[in-house]
A = this chain, B = another copy of it.
Amino acid sequence: MAWARGLNTIRVMPLRQTVDSAAAGRAIHARMGELFPLCRSISGEGLRDTLRLVQRDVPLDIVETPSGAQVLDWIVPNEWNIRAAWIDGPDGTRVVDFADSNLHVLNYSVPVDAVMSLDDLREHVFTDPRDPDLVPYRTSYYVERWGFCMSQRQLDALPPGEYRAFVDSTLAPGSVSYGEAVLKGATDEEVLLTTYACHPSLANDNLSGVALLAELGRVLAAQPALRFTYRLLWLPGTIGSICWLAANRSIVDRIRHGLVVSCVGDPGPFTYKRSRRGDSEIDQAVAHILRANPENRVLDWFPYGGDERQFCSPGFDLPVGAFSRTPADQFPEYHSSADNLEFVKPEYLAGSVETLLEVIDVIESNAGYLNRSPFGEPQLGKRGLYRGIGGGSSEEMALLWVLSLSDGTRTLLDIADSSGMDFHEIRLAADRLEAHDLLEAS
Protein backbone atom coordinates (compact mmCIF):
# COMPACT_ATOMS: atom_id res chain seq x y z
CA MET A 1 0.00 0.00 0.00
CA ALA A 2 1.23 3.41 -0.80
CA TRP A 3 -1.19 6.12 0.03
CA ALA A 4 0.45 9.44 0.39
CA ARG A 5 -0.22 11.08 3.75
CA GLY A 6 -2.32 14.02 2.63
CA LEU A 7 -5.86 13.39 1.60
CA ASN A 8 -5.69 15.11 -1.73
CA THR A 9 -2.41 13.92 -3.11
CA ILE A 10 -1.75 11.26 -5.68
CA ARG A 11 -2.82 7.77 -4.73
CA VAL A 12 -0.50 5.25 -6.22
CA MET A 13 -2.79 2.31 -5.80
CA PRO A 14 -6.28 1.79 -4.46
CA LEU A 15 -6.78 -0.37 -1.41
CA ARG A 16 -8.63 -2.96 -3.43
CA GLN A 17 -5.56 -3.61 -5.57
CA THR A 18 -3.36 -4.23 -2.56
CA VAL A 19 -5.42 -7.16 -1.35
CA ASP A 20 -5.40 -10.71 -2.70
CA SER A 21 -9.14 -11.15 -2.53
CA ALA A 22 -9.07 -14.84 -3.48
CA ALA A 23 -6.82 -15.54 -0.51
CA ALA A 24 -9.07 -13.37 1.64
CA GLY A 25 -12.09 -15.40 0.56
CA ARG A 26 -10.35 -18.63 1.52
CA ALA A 27 -9.28 -17.19 4.87
CA ILE A 28 -12.82 -16.04 5.64
CA HIS A 29 -14.21 -19.44 4.77
CA ALA A 30 -11.63 -21.13 7.01
CA ARG A 31 -12.57 -18.85 9.92
CA MET A 32 -16.22 -19.65 9.35
CA GLY A 33 -15.36 -23.33 9.73
CA GLU A 34 -13.96 -22.67 13.20
CA LEU A 35 -16.87 -20.48 14.22
CA PHE A 36 -19.57 -22.73 12.83
CA PRO A 37 -20.05 -25.23 15.72
CA LEU A 38 -20.40 -22.60 18.45
CA CYS A 39 -23.89 -22.09 19.80
CA ARG A 40 -24.29 -18.34 19.52
CA SER A 41 -27.26 -16.42 20.79
CA ILE A 42 -27.95 -12.80 21.73
CA SER A 43 -26.05 -13.47 24.98
CA GLY A 44 -23.98 -16.19 26.61
CA GLU A 45 -20.71 -18.03 26.26
CA GLY A 46 -21.24 -19.08 22.65
CA LEU A 47 -21.35 -15.43 21.67
CA ARG A 48 -18.32 -14.63 23.84
CA ASP A 49 -16.36 -17.53 22.37
CA THR A 50 -17.15 -16.23 18.91
CA LEU A 51 -15.83 -12.77 19.80
CA ARG A 52 -12.71 -14.37 21.30
CA LEU A 53 -12.06 -16.22 18.06
CA VAL A 54 -12.39 -12.96 16.13
CA GLN A 55 -9.85 -11.40 18.50
CA ARG A 56 -7.17 -13.47 16.77
CA ASP A 57 -7.66 -11.19 13.75
CA VAL A 58 -8.82 -7.97 15.31
CA PRO A 59 -8.04 -6.67 18.80
CA LEU A 60 -11.67 -6.13 19.68
CA ASP A 61 -13.02 -5.28 23.11
CA ILE A 62 -15.78 -7.48 24.47
CA VAL A 63 -18.28 -5.06 25.94
CA GLU A 64 -20.85 -6.33 28.43
CA THR A 65 -24.19 -4.70 29.21
CA PRO A 66 -25.80 -6.18 32.34
CA SER A 67 -29.19 -7.89 32.28
CA GLY A 68 -31.92 -5.56 33.45
CA ALA A 69 -30.18 -2.42 32.27
CA GLN A 70 -32.35 0.12 30.49
CA VAL A 71 -30.93 0.72 27.03
CA LEU A 72 -32.88 3.29 25.03
CA ASP A 73 -36.41 1.90 25.10
CA TRP A 74 -35.27 -1.66 25.86
CA ILE A 75 -34.41 -3.76 28.94
CA VAL A 76 -31.36 -6.00 28.55
CA PRO A 77 -32.62 -9.60 28.85
CA ASN A 78 -31.21 -12.34 31.02
CA GLU A 79 -28.20 -14.22 29.76
CA TRP A 80 -28.75 -17.63 28.20
CA ASN A 81 -26.31 -20.52 28.39
CA ILE A 82 -26.78 -24.08 27.35
CA ARG A 83 -24.80 -27.21 28.02
CA ALA A 84 -26.94 -30.03 26.65
CA ALA A 85 -30.33 -30.80 25.14
CA TRP A 86 -31.89 -33.92 23.71
CA ILE A 87 -35.06 -35.92 23.24
CA ASP A 88 -35.12 -39.64 23.98
CA GLY A 89 -37.75 -41.82 22.31
CA PRO A 90 -40.01 -44.53 23.77
CA ASP A 91 -37.34 -47.17 23.19
CA GLY A 92 -34.64 -45.00 24.72
CA THR A 93 -32.99 -44.07 21.42
CA ARG A 94 -31.91 -40.47 21.13
CA VAL A 95 -34.22 -38.64 18.70
CA VAL A 96 -32.31 -35.37 18.43
CA ASP A 97 -29.26 -34.08 20.26
CA PHE A 98 -27.93 -30.54 20.68
CA ALA A 99 -24.49 -32.11 20.52
CA ASP A 100 -25.12 -33.00 16.87
CA SER A 101 -26.42 -29.60 15.86
CA ASN A 102 -27.23 -26.61 17.98
CA LEU A 103 -30.14 -25.87 15.63
CA HIS A 104 -32.02 -28.73 17.34
CA VAL A 105 -32.75 -26.60 20.38
CA LEU A 106 -35.02 -23.58 20.35
CA ASN A 107 -32.58 -20.73 20.87
CA TYR A 108 -33.13 -19.24 24.38
CA SER A 109 -35.04 -22.38 25.44
CA VAL A 110 -35.63 -22.53 29.20
CA PRO A 111 -34.58 -25.74 30.98
CA VAL A 112 -36.83 -28.77 30.99
CA ASP A 113 -36.63 -32.41 32.00
CA ALA A 114 -39.99 -34.07 31.46
CA VAL A 115 -41.57 -37.22 30.11
CA MET A 116 -44.61 -36.80 27.92
CA SER A 117 -46.69 -38.27 25.14
CA LEU A 118 -45.83 -37.65 21.50
CA ASP A 119 -48.82 -35.33 21.23
CA ASP A 120 -47.61 -33.21 24.12
CA LEU A 121 -44.09 -33.21 22.70
CA ARG A 122 -45.36 -31.95 19.35
CA GLU A 123 -46.40 -28.69 21.05
CA HIS A 124 -42.70 -28.00 21.55
CA VAL A 125 -41.30 -29.16 18.21
CA PHE A 126 -40.70 -26.81 15.29
CA THR A 127 -40.24 -27.93 11.70
CA ASP A 128 -39.59 -26.09 8.46
CA PRO A 129 -42.74 -25.64 6.38
CA ARG A 130 -40.65 -25.03 3.26
CA ASP A 131 -38.83 -28.35 3.13
CA PRO A 132 -39.57 -31.56 5.07
CA ASP A 133 -35.86 -32.46 5.24
CA LEU A 134 -34.56 -29.27 6.82
CA VAL A 135 -34.13 -28.45 10.46
CA PRO A 136 -35.32 -24.89 11.05
CA TYR A 137 -33.68 -22.23 13.23
CA ARG A 138 -36.09 -20.82 15.80
CA THR A 139 -35.72 -18.46 18.75
CA SER A 140 -37.75 -17.22 21.68
CA TYR A 141 -35.73 -14.40 23.24
CA TYR A 142 -38.43 -12.42 24.93
CA VAL A 143 -41.05 -15.08 25.77
CA GLU A 144 -39.94 -17.89 28.08
CA ARG A 145 -40.54 -21.32 26.58
CA TRP A 146 -38.70 -24.52 25.76
CA GLY A 147 -38.56 -26.32 22.46
CA PHE A 148 -36.77 -28.37 19.85
CA CYS A 149 -36.34 -28.17 16.10
CA MET A 150 -36.21 -31.13 13.71
CA SER A 151 -37.15 -32.01 10.15
CA GLN A 152 -40.79 -32.55 9.33
CA ARG A 153 -39.86 -35.99 7.98
CA GLN A 154 -38.28 -36.96 11.31
CA LEU A 155 -41.25 -35.67 13.27
CA ASP A 156 -43.70 -37.59 11.07
CA ALA A 157 -41.77 -40.81 11.61
CA LEU A 158 -41.83 -40.67 15.40
CA PRO A 159 -43.81 -43.57 16.88
CA PRO A 160 -46.37 -42.94 19.62
CA GLY A 161 -45.18 -43.43 23.17
CA GLU A 162 -43.43 -41.69 26.02
CA TYR A 163 -40.68 -39.20 25.19
CA ARG A 164 -38.22 -37.54 27.51
CA ALA A 165 -37.31 -33.94 26.68
CA PHE A 166 -34.20 -32.59 28.34
CA VAL A 167 -32.69 -29.10 28.13
CA ASP A 168 -29.83 -28.22 30.44
CA SER A 169 -29.77 -24.44 30.06
CA THR A 170 -29.76 -21.38 32.27
CA LEU A 171 -31.56 -18.08 31.71
CA ALA A 172 -30.38 -15.80 34.45
CA PRO A 173 -29.00 -12.32 35.13
CA GLY A 174 -25.70 -11.88 33.37
CA SER A 175 -25.03 -9.66 30.42
CA VAL A 176 -25.31 -9.18 26.70
CA SER A 177 -21.94 -9.01 24.94
CA TYR A 178 -20.73 -7.33 21.78
CA GLY A 179 -17.35 -6.89 20.16
CA GLU A 180 -15.95 -3.46 19.27
CA ALA A 181 -12.71 -2.53 17.56
CA VAL A 182 -11.57 0.95 16.60
CA LEU A 183 -8.85 1.66 14.06
CA LYS A 184 -7.72 5.27 14.31
CA GLY A 185 -7.39 7.09 11.00
CA ALA A 186 -6.16 10.55 10.04
CA THR A 187 -9.43 12.12 11.17
CA ASP A 188 -11.99 11.53 13.89
CA GLU A 189 -14.71 11.06 11.32
CA GLU A 190 -15.79 7.46 11.45
CA VAL A 191 -16.80 4.64 9.21
CA LEU A 192 -19.03 2.19 11.06
CA LEU A 193 -18.93 -1.42 9.89
CA THR A 194 -21.21 -3.80 11.74
CA THR A 195 -22.55 -7.30 11.55
CA TYR A 196 -24.80 -9.32 13.81
CA ALA A 197 -23.21 -12.27 15.56
CA CYS A 198 -26.07 -14.01 17.32
CA HIS A 199 -26.97 -16.90 15.05
CA PRO A 200 -25.81 -20.43 15.95
CA SER A 201 -24.66 -22.85 13.21
CA LEU A 202 -25.82 -20.82 10.23
CA ALA A 203 -23.26 -19.94 7.59
CA ASN A 204 -24.40 -17.25 5.20
CA ASP A 205 -26.73 -15.65 7.73
CA ASN A 206 -24.59 -14.58 9.54
CA LEU A 207 -21.18 -16.18 10.01
CA SER A 208 -20.22 -14.86 6.58
CA GLY A 209 -20.56 -11.33 7.93
CA VAL A 210 -18.77 -12.14 11.19
CA ALA A 211 -15.75 -13.61 9.45
CA LEU A 212 -15.66 -11.11 6.60
CA LEU A 213 -15.62 -8.20 9.03
CA ALA A 214 -12.71 -9.87 10.84
CA GLU A 215 -10.77 -10.10 7.58
CA LEU A 216 -11.69 -6.53 6.64
CA GLY A 217 -10.42 -5.35 10.02
CA ARG A 218 -7.16 -7.19 9.46
CA VAL A 219 -6.74 -5.67 6.00
CA LEU A 220 -7.55 -2.13 7.16
CA ALA A 221 -5.15 -2.39 10.10
CA ALA A 222 -2.40 -3.30 7.66
CA GLN A 223 -2.75 0.01 5.82
CA PRO A 224 -0.09 2.65 6.49
CA ALA A 225 -2.66 5.43 6.38
CA LEU A 226 -6.41 5.80 6.35
CA ARG A 227 -8.48 8.93 6.15
CA PHE A 228 -11.30 7.77 8.40
CA THR A 229 -11.38 6.09 11.78
CA TYR A 230 -12.95 2.67 11.37
CA ARG A 231 -15.22 1.28 14.05
CA LEU A 232 -16.12 -2.39 13.68
CA LEU A 233 -18.94 -3.94 15.67
CA TRP A 234 -19.95 -7.58 16.10
CA LEU A 235 -23.38 -7.30 17.65
CA PRO A 236 -26.13 -9.60 18.79
CA GLY A 237 -29.06 -8.57 16.56
CA THR A 238 -31.23 -5.63 17.63
CA ILE A 239 -30.34 -5.66 21.35
CA GLY A 240 -26.63 -5.37 20.51
CA SER A 241 -26.98 -2.26 18.35
CA ILE A 242 -29.34 -0.80 20.93
CA CYS A 243 -26.80 -1.41 23.69
CA TRP A 244 -24.06 0.17 21.60
CA LEU A 245 -26.17 3.20 20.66
CA ALA A 246 -27.24 3.69 24.28
CA ALA A 247 -23.62 3.73 25.39
CA ASN A 248 -22.28 5.84 22.52
CA ARG A 249 -24.69 8.68 21.92
CA SER A 250 -21.80 11.14 22.07
CA ILE A 251 -20.02 9.33 19.27
CA VAL A 252 -22.73 9.02 16.69
CA ASP A 253 -22.21 12.49 15.28
CA ARG A 254 -18.78 11.44 14.10
CA ILE A 255 -20.16 8.69 11.92
CA ARG A 256 -19.76 9.79 8.35
CA HIS A 257 -20.51 6.46 6.68
CA GLY A 258 -21.77 3.07 7.83
CA LEU A 259 -22.62 -0.37 6.54
CA VAL A 260 -24.41 -3.28 8.15
CA VAL A 261 -22.81 -6.31 6.49
CA SER A 262 -24.47 -9.72 6.30
CA CYS A 263 -25.18 -12.64 3.97
CA VAL A 264 -22.06 -12.11 1.89
CA GLY A 265 -21.16 -15.73 1.07
CA ASP A 266 -23.95 -16.93 -1.23
CA PRO A 267 -23.78 -16.92 -5.03
CA GLY A 268 -26.31 -14.11 -5.53
CA PRO A 269 -25.58 -10.64 -6.90
CA PHE A 270 -25.21 -7.79 -4.42
CA THR A 271 -28.12 -5.99 -2.80
CA TYR A 272 -27.73 -2.64 -1.13
CA LYS A 273 -30.44 -1.06 0.95
CA ARG A 274 -30.08 2.68 1.22
CA SER A 275 -29.94 4.48 4.52
CA ARG A 276 -33.11 6.19 5.68
CA ARG A 277 -31.69 9.46 4.33
CA GLY A 278 -31.47 7.82 0.94
CA ASP A 279 -28.92 10.21 -0.50
CA SER A 280 -26.00 10.01 1.87
CA GLU A 281 -22.54 9.66 0.41
CA ILE A 282 -22.32 5.99 1.37
CA ASP A 283 -25.53 5.38 -0.57
CA GLN A 284 -24.04 7.11 -3.58
CA ALA A 285 -20.74 5.25 -3.23
CA VAL A 286 -22.23 1.77 -2.99
CA ALA A 287 -24.66 2.47 -5.83
CA HIS A 288 -21.74 3.66 -7.95
CA ILE A 289 -19.76 0.48 -7.35
CA LEU A 290 -22.75 -1.84 -7.74
CA ARG A 291 -23.75 -0.43 -11.11
CA ALA A 292 -20.89 -2.50 -12.58
CA ASN A 293 -23.27 -5.46 -12.65
CA PRO A 294 -26.84 -4.82 -13.78
CA GLU A 295 -28.03 -7.74 -11.64
CA ASN A 296 -26.97 -5.93 -8.48
CA ARG A 297 -29.84 -4.17 -6.79
CA VAL A 298 -30.07 -0.92 -4.85
CA LEU A 299 -33.21 -0.70 -2.73
CA ASP A 300 -34.79 2.30 -1.09
CA TRP A 301 -35.02 2.39 2.66
CA PHE A 302 -37.60 0.25 4.41
CA PRO A 303 -37.90 0.00 8.19
CA TYR A 304 -37.53 -3.75 8.69
CA GLY A 305 -34.40 -5.88 8.28
CA GLY A 306 -31.25 -5.80 10.38
CA ASP A 307 -29.48 -3.40 12.69
CA GLU A 308 -29.79 -0.55 10.18
CA ARG A 309 -33.23 -0.20 11.75
CA GLN A 310 -31.57 1.04 14.92
CA PHE A 311 -28.82 3.17 13.35
CA CYS A 312 -31.38 4.79 11.04
CA SER A 313 -34.11 5.26 13.63
CA PRO A 314 -35.29 8.85 13.26
CA GLY A 315 -33.56 10.09 16.42
CA PHE A 316 -30.18 8.94 15.11
CA ASP A 317 -30.81 8.90 11.35
CA LEU A 318 -27.25 7.86 10.60
CA PRO A 319 -25.88 7.41 7.09
CA VAL A 320 -25.84 3.63 7.44
CA GLY A 321 -26.95 1.24 4.70
CA ALA A 322 -27.21 -2.54 4.55
CA PHE A 323 -24.87 -4.51 2.32
CA SER A 324 -25.40 -8.13 1.36
CA ARG A 325 -25.52 -10.56 -1.49
CA THR A 326 -28.97 -12.18 -1.30
CA PRO A 327 -30.68 -10.48 1.63
CA ALA A 328 -31.63 -12.56 4.66
CA ASP A 329 -34.95 -14.37 4.16
CA GLN A 330 -34.72 -14.21 0.37
CA PHE A 331 -32.65 -17.35 -0.19
CA PRO A 332 -34.31 -20.76 0.32
CA GLU A 333 -31.63 -21.97 2.76
CA TYR A 334 -32.34 -19.04 5.12
CA HIS A 335 -32.78 -19.95 8.80
CA SER A 336 -32.40 -23.68 8.24
CA SER A 337 -29.83 -26.42 8.39
CA ALA A 338 -29.24 -25.88 4.65
CA ASP A 339 -27.50 -22.58 5.39
CA ASN A 340 -24.24 -24.40 6.01
CA LEU A 341 -20.58 -24.26 5.05
CA GLU A 342 -21.20 -25.94 1.69
CA PHE A 343 -23.70 -23.28 0.70
CA VAL A 344 -21.15 -20.52 1.29
CA LYS A 345 -18.14 -20.52 -1.06
CA PRO A 346 -14.73 -18.84 -0.81
CA GLU A 347 -15.09 -17.23 -4.23
CA TYR A 348 -18.31 -15.49 -3.26
CA LEU A 349 -16.71 -14.27 -0.05
CA ALA A 350 -13.77 -13.05 -2.14
CA GLY A 351 -16.10 -11.07 -4.39
CA SER A 352 -17.75 -9.52 -1.36
CA VAL A 353 -14.41 -8.45 0.08
CA GLU A 354 -13.41 -6.97 -3.24
CA THR A 355 -16.62 -5.01 -3.60
CA LEU A 356 -16.45 -3.67 -0.05
CA LEU A 357 -12.85 -2.60 -0.62
CA GLU A 358 -13.96 -0.76 -3.75
CA VAL A 359 -16.58 1.03 -1.69
CA ILE A 360 -14.00 1.91 0.94
CA ASP A 361 -11.69 3.17 -1.78
CA VAL A 362 -14.42 5.53 -2.93
CA ILE A 363 -15.28 6.97 0.46
CA GLU A 364 -11.62 7.21 1.47
CA SER A 365 -10.67 9.25 -1.55
CA ASN A 366 -13.80 11.11 -2.55
CA ALA A 367 -13.51 14.88 -2.22
CA GLY A 368 -14.50 18.10 -3.91
CA TYR A 369 -12.04 20.14 -5.96
CA LEU A 370 -11.70 23.45 -7.69
CA ASN A 371 -10.38 23.84 -11.21
CA ARG A 372 -7.55 26.36 -10.81
CA SER A 373 -7.62 27.30 -14.48
CA PRO A 374 -11.36 27.63 -14.94
CA PHE A 375 -11.39 30.22 -17.74
CA GLY A 376 -11.24 28.21 -20.93
CA GLU A 377 -9.77 24.76 -21.05
CA PRO A 378 -6.21 24.63 -19.76
CA GLN A 379 -3.71 23.66 -22.44
CA LEU A 380 -3.11 20.05 -21.46
CA GLY A 381 -0.69 19.40 -24.31
CA LYS A 382 1.99 21.75 -23.05
CA ARG A 383 1.91 19.92 -19.70
CA GLY A 384 2.28 16.52 -21.31
CA LEU A 385 -1.17 15.52 -20.19
CA TYR A 386 -2.10 14.54 -23.74
CA ARG A 387 1.28 12.93 -24.41
CA GLY A 388 0.92 9.38 -25.70
CA ILE A 389 -2.77 9.38 -25.12
CA GLY A 390 -4.54 10.26 -28.36
CA GLY A 391 -7.76 12.21 -28.61
CA GLY A 392 -10.87 10.78 -27.12
CA SER A 393 -9.14 8.27 -24.89
CA SER A 394 -10.76 7.42 -21.62
CA GLU A 395 -7.91 9.04 -19.68
CA GLU A 396 -8.26 12.29 -21.60
CA MET A 397 -12.02 12.31 -21.13
CA ALA A 398 -11.58 11.83 -17.40
CA LEU A 399 -9.27 14.87 -17.28
CA LEU A 400 -11.85 16.96 -19.14
CA TRP A 401 -14.72 15.82 -16.93
CA VAL A 402 -12.83 16.71 -13.77
CA LEU A 403 -11.84 20.11 -15.13
CA SER A 404 -15.33 20.87 -16.35
CA LEU A 405 -17.23 19.95 -13.20
CA SER A 406 -14.78 20.81 -10.41
CA ASP A 407 -16.45 24.03 -9.37
CA GLY A 408 -16.79 23.44 -5.65
CA THR A 409 -20.33 22.12 -5.84
CA ARG A 410 -19.52 18.55 -6.83
CA THR A 411 -17.37 15.75 -5.54
CA LEU A 412 -15.35 13.37 -7.66
CA LEU A 413 -18.05 10.80 -7.05
CA ASP A 414 -20.62 13.21 -8.44
CA ILE A 415 -18.39 13.65 -11.46
CA ALA A 416 -18.02 9.90 -11.87
CA ASP A 417 -21.80 9.56 -11.80
CA SER A 418 -22.32 12.45 -14.24
CA SER A 419 -19.75 11.15 -16.67
CA GLY A 420 -20.66 7.49 -16.44
CA MET A 421 -16.97 6.76 -15.82
CA ASP A 422 -15.53 4.71 -12.98
CA PHE A 423 -14.68 6.59 -9.82
CA HIS A 424 -11.17 5.22 -9.97
CA GLU A 425 -10.53 6.75 -13.41
CA ILE A 426 -11.90 10.08 -12.21
CA ARG A 427 -9.80 9.89 -9.06
CA LEU A 428 -6.63 9.23 -11.10
CA ALA A 429 -7.45 12.13 -13.39
CA ALA A 430 -7.86 14.42 -10.38
CA ASP A 431 -4.50 13.22 -9.04
CA ARG A 432 -2.80 14.05 -12.33
CA LEU A 433 -4.42 17.46 -12.53
CA GLU A 434 -3.53 18.24 -8.94
CA ALA A 435 0.07 17.27 -9.60
CA HIS A 436 0.10 19.86 -12.39
CA ASP A 437 -1.47 22.54 -10.17
CA LEU A 438 -4.62 22.52 -12.24
CA LEU A 439 -6.79 21.39 -9.33
CA GLU A 440 -7.01 22.19 -5.64
CA ALA A 441 -9.11 20.91 -2.79
CA SER A 442 -12.31 22.90 -2.41
Contacts and interface: CB of A to CB of B under 8 A. Distances in A.
Interface of A: 71-75, 142, 238, 241-242, 245-246, 249, 276, 301-304, 309-310, 312-317, 329, 371, 373-379, 381-382, 392, 396-397, 400-401, 403-407, 419
Contacts of A404: 276, 301, 303, 309, 312-314
B371 A314 contact: yes
Contacts of A245: 375-376
Interface-centre pick from A245, A310, A377 (highest chain B CB count, 10 A): A377
Contacts of A71: 376
Nearest to A72: B376
Contacts of A313: 371, 374-377, 403-404
Nearest to A241: B376
A377 B310 contact: yes
Interface-centre pick from A73, A75, A419 (highest chain B CB count, 10 A): A73
Contacts of A419: 302
Nearest to A73: B378
Contacts of A309: 377, 400, 404
B303 A381 contact: no
A329 B392 CA distance: 11
Nearest to A407: B314
A338 to B, nearest CB: 20
A371 B72 CA distance: 14
B72 A401 contact: no
A391 to B, nearest CB: 8
A315 B376 contact: yes
A75 B379 CA distance: 9
A377 B403 CA distance: 45
Nearest to A141: B381
A434 to B, nearest CB: 16
Nearest to A238: B377
Given A74-B379, A316-B376, 15 more contacts: A72-B375, A72-B376, A276-B404, A303-B403, A304-B397, A304-B400, A309-B377, A310-B376, A312-B404, A313-B376, A313-B404, A314-B404, A315-B374, A315-B375, A316-B374
Contacts of A376: 71-74, 241-242, 245-246, 310, 313, 315-316
Contacts of A392: 304, 329
A27 to B, nearest CB: 34
Nearest to A404: B303
A303 B400 contact: yes
Contact of A314 (B249, B315, B316, B374): B374
A142 B314 contact: no
29 contacts: A72-B373, A72-B375, A73-B373, A75-B382, A142-B382, A241-B376, A245-B376, A246-B376, A301-B404, A303-B397, A303-B404, A303-B405, A304-B396, A304-B397, A304-B400, A310-B377, A312-B404, A313-B374, A313-B375, A313-B376, A313-B403, A314-B371, A314-B403, A314-B404, A314-B406, A315-B371, A315-B376, A316-B375, A329-B392
What 10 pairs across the A-B complex have the smallest Cβ distances?
Answer: A315-B374, A303-B404, A315-B375, A72-B376, A303-B400, A73-B378, A314-B374, A314-B407, A74-B379, A242-B376
B375 A405 contact: no
Contacts of A373: 72-73
A301 to B, nearest CB: 8
Contacts of A304: 392, 396-397, 400
A396 B305 CA distance: 12
Nearest to A246: B376
Contacts of A242: 376-377
Contacts of A407: 314, 317
